[in-house]
Structure 1
Amino acid sequence: MSNDLIVMDNSIVTSAYNLTLNEQRLIYCALKQIPKGVPLDPETAFYITRDDFLAFGVNPDTVAREIRHATTQLLKKTIVVPREDGDLEFQWLSEVLRVDRTAEQRLREKYPNPEDHRKYLHGLRTYNLLDSLPNRRDDDNIVARIVFHKRIVPLLSDLRASFTQFALADVTEFSSIYTFRIYQLLMQYKSTGYVKISLDDLRFMLVLFDKYPLVADLKRWVVETAVNEINEKSPYKVKYEMLKKGRKFTHLELKFKLKESAKKLIAERDPNTIDWVNGQTDNEAQQTKVPSWQTKGLSDAQIKKIGVYTKEFIDANSSKIAPNDRRDYPEIFEEWKLQLKDPKTVKSFYKVQELLERTRNI
């Protein structure tokens, strides 16, 4: 089990939020600490250290100040999660403690006698220092202590389906918040190597509002910035295209694949290493029985389940739609039903298994 694996519900990836680089880094530093495959107590605290931020290349002379500033600002920030019944908005954090390095020493001076030990411990609890003492006696590495908002915890913990994951090491060199967000989007579709997103949805998730109203500016300052940085600093190689309907640009298409160097590293992995997601080794996973729909086609009930996410399903398979097709989503989905029932054609569709598993957990 890797302690630097970032895992989040897919809904976070396409949610609307506007973070700075350091605020995004702060969240990742906490996410890597979340136990994988077990529920998380909503009151769980996560300690952010100087070393956490130094791994992102932050200046050692200013790292503590940058962490404290990021916690101050993130406490004010919200995330908007689109749902079937509307947009749900809540804060990222419920509380922040910016650790005072002198607090423990002041308490020792205030209660120097053994008979005052009870008062000393009470003081530690008051300042939330008791559980951090073993980590802090030798240095001042811990800078802040954060607790996630209770509404976001289920989207970060004990995820069994419909989640996005990637290694923290893949993103530590990114210097643009747009790169972080678009990389997360790619990792949501890692199994297909293909993403198509409307420019309206892209603007929504990046909270651009009226920023970069010209597509040329959106392309230059957002898309190309992210794609170039992903190509340079991540394990993936990305190509993109801005798609038109008529004379208007409407969608961004991203195609990506692992670089040869990254493939080599994966090939060298021990096939008997247990994957925390499915509890199997690579050898065992290869012997696992394929889902029945891949050999028999989808049933009417399964098609109905996928139909709950008609727009998302069609967008994931937009390559099957002619550029001049003007039909609405329900009409296209209705036409696809026969192909979804046919075992010869159903496997050509993306995102089938993910949506079937998602609906089981509603």
Structure 2
Amino acid sequence: MNNLSVTKSNELVDASYKLNVQAQKLVLACLGKVDPRREIPKEITITALEFSELMGIPNAHRELYLAADSLFGSSIKIRDGNDDIEVHWIQKKSKKIKGSGSVTITWSDDVLKYISCLQSRFTSYKLRHIAELQSSHSIRLYELLMKFNSTGERIIYLDDFKSALGLSDKYPLFKILNRDVIKPSVDELNQRSDLTIKYETIKKGRSVAALSFEFKQNKQMKLDV
């Protein structure tokens, strides 16, 4: 089992973006290969074998190429101080090296500041703890919680939660959001990650205004049996 860590600036953790689960795992696998305390290379290559071993993905050649294609053109909306900016994950279409079953991605200049030379205000976690997750929503919720790992508690406004998952324009009814996104994500994290999570709603009047999460890490990661 790999012991690599993923590190992102807190601005990137709380940013608004939507990637499918394999594209998310490609980003995280690439981040796991670098030292975020130093200036990281603008280009990074990952093989299908690495992708498979790090993330437990069968048919990794196909999934790696699809993930790279999906990443191209995907953007991130970030609150940086008082500014709202939109940046892209990668600068150009990923280079596929089919003979070696690998892809080379080129980080955009804008995103590098949120993943490179990080000295403070960042979130880190072990890559293996999200490797078994099958939902992109579960991965994003994991990151949002791990930002507050020191306290094991996080209250997040519902609008901010939806924004972080790239769902601002969807799920106007909370009961549908809870049924389709929140509860399945919490259930999957309880089953397949190292977190044990409970949550409840905070209401303003009759409407849900925020979510309150309590969580703790298990020393031994839980896996399906």
User: Alignment partner of 1:151: what SS?
Assistant: helix
Which residue is equivalent to 1:80?
77
CA contact (8 A) 1:3 1:33 kept: no
Question: Shift in Å at residue 169 of structure 1?
Answer: 0.5
- Long gaps (5+) in structure 2: none
**Which structure has the larger Rg over C-alpha atoms?**
1
Deviations 1:205-227 (A, max 9, x none): 11113322210111111111111
Structure 2 residue identity aligned to 1:58: I
Question: Shift in Å at residue 12 of structure 1?
Answer: 0.7
User: Alignment partner of 2:183: what SS?
Assistant: helix
* Of 51, 61, 66, the match for 1:64: 61
Question: Shift in Å at residue 260 of structure 1?
Answer: 5.4
* Of 218, 225, 236, the match for 2:177: 218
Partner Cα separation in structure 1 for residue 211 and residue 62 of structure 2: 38
Which residue is equivalent to 2:27?
27
Question: Shift in Å at residue 261 of structure 1?
Answer: 3.7
Q: CA RMSD in A?
A: 1.6
Which residue is equivalent to 2:204?
245
User: Alignment partner of 1:220: what SS?
Assistant: helix
User: Alignment partner of 1:88: what SS?
Assistant: strand
CA contact (8 A) 1:79 1:89 kept: yes
Structure 1 residue identity aligned to 2:138: T
Which residue is equivalent to 1:51?
49
Question: Shift in Å at residue 57 of structure 1?
Answer: 3.0
Partner Cα separation in structure 1 for residue 115 and residue 148 of structure 2: 18
Structure number with higher helix proportion: 1
Partner Cα separation in structure 2 for residue 184 and residue 52 of structure 1: 22
Deviations 1:28-82 (A, max 9, x none): 11101112422224xx32112112332323222xx21221122112111001101
CA contact (8 A) 2:36 2:117 kept: yes
User: Alignment partner of 2:131: what SS?
Assistant: coil
Which residue is equivalent to 2:133?
174
Structure 2 residue identity aligned to 1:98: K
* Of 90, 99, 122, the match for 1:163: 122
Question: Shift in Å at residue 84 of structure 1?
Answer: 3.5
C-alpha change, 1:36 and 1:203, in structure 2 (3 Å) is closer
Greater relative contact order (CA < 8 Å, ≥ 6 in sequence): 2
Aligned: 1:233 with 2:196: no
Partner Cα separation in structure 2 for residue 259 and residue 40 of structure 1: 31
More moved, 4-13 vs 69-78: 69-78
Structure 2 residue identity aligned to 1:158: C
Question: Shift in Å at residue 236 of structure 1?
Answer: 1.5
Deviations 1:274-321 (A, max 9, x none): xxxxxxxxxxxxxxxxxxxxxxxxxxxxxxxxxxxxxxxxxxxxxxxx
- Long gaps (5+) in structure 1: 102-139, 263-362
Tell me the TM-score normalized by structure 1: 0.58
Question: Shift in Å at residue 100 of structure 1?
Answer: 3.7
**Which runs of at least 4 in structure 1 moved beyond 6 Å after TM superposition?**
none
Partner Cα separation in structure 1 for residue 177 and residue 98 of structure 2: 42
Deviations 1:93-131 (A, max 9, x none): 013211142xxxxxxxxxxxxxxxxxxxxxxxxxxxxxx
More moved, 201-210 vs 185-194: 201-210
User: Alignment partner of 2:149: what SS?
Assistant: coil
Tell me the TM-score normalized by structure 2: 0.91
Of all paired residues, the percent bearing the same amino acid is 29
C-alpha change, 1:172 and 1:39, in structure 2 (3 Å) is same
C-alpha change, 1:3 and 1:234, in structure 2 (3 Å) is closer
Which residue is equivalent to 1:13?
13
Give matches, 1:140-219, under 5 Å: 140=100, 142-219=101-178
